[in-house]
């Protein structure tokens, strides 16, 4: 049996320890390099993800804005369609209004008609006027007022003696109608009128 002395044993242990430490250091350096590479790649990946996230958020914001704009346009178009349909409906009712007005305009003949029949017709006319009122439609009443080309259509003239009646509406041949739309009033049909002129 061979015994080593302590010094040789210590020296062998030191050598083994130095080699182990050197090996461990090399492994650590290698691990650090790998970790550093991994960390660098992870940082690059995070930066890439942040950029991608920012791009997605921008796209989402743009898409949301486009959607809100499209919805607003659609709502505006629906509102305009609703107004167009209301106007078209009112325009379809105007000949009926003209017929009632014509039937009742000759007071003498109207008073001679059977009272029950007359009251029935007047009741239907009142229903029609209420329907127009529900659409915010009003009759244009230009008689005796200065001629307004935005509301009236001059179809003739009448000779007047008073200078104050020149360019004033003397008679209404066909009623005009206007409709309230939002904050504005729009003419549905101009009143057909005659205006005053002085005698030569």
Residue 25: per-residue pLDDT: 66
Burial of 66 per CB tally in 10 Å (0-12, 13-18, 19+): exposed
Strand partners, 137: 179
Residue 182: per-residue pLDDT: 82
Residue 170: per-residue pLDDT: 92
Residue 165: per-residue pLDDT: 86
Tokens for 17? 């320890």
pLDDT tens by residue, the chain, 200 residues: 444 555 555 555 555 566 666 666 666 666 777 777 788 888 888 888 899 999 999 999 999 999 999 999 999 999 989 889 999 999 999 999 999 988 888 888 888 888 898 899 999 999 999 999 999 999 999 999 999 999 999 999 998 888 888 899 999 999 999 999 888 999 999 999 999 988 76
Residue 35: per-residue pLDDT: 74
Residue 18: per-residue pLDDT: 64
- β-strands 137-140, 184-189 pairing: unpaired
Tell me the fold of 139-200.
Nucleotide Exchange Factor Grpe; Chain A, domain 2 (2.30.22)
- β-strands 191-198, 152-160 pairing: parallel
Those residues whose C-beta lies under 8 Å from the C-beta of residue 146, and which sit 6 or more positions away, are: 167, 168, 169
């Amino acid at each position: 049996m061979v015994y080593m002395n302590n010094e040789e044993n210590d020296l062998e242990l030191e050598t083994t320890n130095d080699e182990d430490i050197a090996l461990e250091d090399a492994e650590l350096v290698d691990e650090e390099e790998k970790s550093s590479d991994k960390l660098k790649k992870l940082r690059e990946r995070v930066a890439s993800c942040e950029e991608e996230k920012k791009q997605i958020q921008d796209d989402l914001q743009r898409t949301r804005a486009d959607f809100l704009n499209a919805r607003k346009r659609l709502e505006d178009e629906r509102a305009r369609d609703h107004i167009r349909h209301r106007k078209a409906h009112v325009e379809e009712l105007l000949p009926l209004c003209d017929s009632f007005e014509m039937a009742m305009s000759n007071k003498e003949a109207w008073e001679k008609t059977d009272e029950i029949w007359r009251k029935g017709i007047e009741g239907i006319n009142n229903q029609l006027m209420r329907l127009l009122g529900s659409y915010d439609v009003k009759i244009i009443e230009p008689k005796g007022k200065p001629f307004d080309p935005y509301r009236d259509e001059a179809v003739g003239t009448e000779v007047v003696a008073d200078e104050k009646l020149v360019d004033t509406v003397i008679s209404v041949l066909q009623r005009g109608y206007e409709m309230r739309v939002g904050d504005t009033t729009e003419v549905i049909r101009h009143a057909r009128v005659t205006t005053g002129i002085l005698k030569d």
